[in-house]
Amino acid sequence: MTTAADLLHEARERERAACLPEAIACYEAAVAAAERGEERAVLAEALRRLAVVRRHRSDAASARALCHRSYDVARQAGNDLLAAEALNTLGGLHLSAGAPDDARRAFLEALELGGASRELRARVEQNLGILANIQGELHEAVALPGTLLLVAVDRTNAVAGFGLTYVTREPEPWLESLHVPGELRGHGIGTLLMRSTAAHLRARGYDSMRLGVIAGNEAAARFYERLGGSLIGLEPVSWAEAMHQVYRWPSLKQLAAA
């Protein structure tokens, strides 16, 4: 007989193989089996992992509800570590939704509950560090109409980077910020965020985009050129005594489709 733990393991394997529909089915089966057997630890983890996959499938509301349920189950079982894992995942979901205050509260509570785990503490502190770097921008940006914020997370749901675009900026959308922590660069996260930004813009009816690179940042310039951006000129930077090299994508079709 297949146990809830077996189903959870199979679901993780499916998720790692990027077979998300199969992973969802296995996680749901694990949840049902854990409920029947009153296996609260397995249930809490299956609910949390299901939330992560649902989030990857753009079902944010369901993902948040699953995280809350995972947290409740873990707390009822007296398992602070699993409760903290649920809160860390919930914090990532809040950050993806442009709710930095809610994200910070969830991350801090996760740290309080599960800080004894070195692995969890490291992931939560990484999330808090990234949040601290971007929170000033988010407070201003999410209040504006036509703002697109994309947040990349890794397999543990730790924040791995973000892209912030002002969609309604004239004459065309402007990618204000693309950020990936230094220790995570070189793994394709920035490319993923660029391609996802292009896809979201095309879905909203836009087919071009601009961004600025501080003059002299050759690594960033090469990165954008590899992705099809063309240097079209220079403009002053509003927040420093420097110049932006302005890169433009006259068509986002290839970037979005790759």
DSSP states along 89-107: HHHHHHHHTT-HHHHHHHH
pLDDT digits (tens, 9 = 90+) for 22-57: 989 999 999 999 999 999 999 999 999 999 888 766
Burial class, 220, CB count within 10 angstroms (exposed 0-12 / middle 13-18 / buried 19+) = middle
The model's pTM: 0.60
1-134 belongs to CATH 1.10.3720.10:
no
Q: Whose structure tokens read 């029947």?
A: 36
Query: Cα(172)–Cα(52) distance, rounded to whole angstroms?
Result: 33
Render the burial of 12-46: b for 16+ CB within 10 Å, e for the rest.
Answer: bebbeeeeeeebbebbebbbebbbeeebbbbbbbb
Task: Render pLDDT for 108-145 as a digit per residue (tens, 0 to 9).
Answer: 999 999 989 988 887 787 778 667 766 665 556 665 66
Q: What is the pLDDT along the chain (258 residues), one digit of tens a residue?
A: 789 999 999 998 887 776 778 989 999 999 999 999 999 999 999 999 999 888 766 677 898 999 999 999 999 999 999 999 999 989 988 876 767 889 889 999 999 999 899 888 877 877 786 677 666 655 566 656 678 888 888 777 677 888 988 888 889 999 988 988 777 888 899 999 999 999 999 999 999 999 998 777 788 999 999 999 999 998 875 544 457 889 999 999 999 986
Extents of the domains making up the chain: 1-134, 144-258
CATH of domain 144-258: 3.40.630.30
116 touches 151 (CB < 8 A): no
Which of helix, strand or coil describes residue 42?
Answer: helix
| 142 and 171 Cβ atoms separated by less than 8 Å | no
* pLDDT, position 239: 45
Q: What does the alpha-carbon distance between residue 125 and residue 89 come to, in Å, rounded to a whole number? A: 13
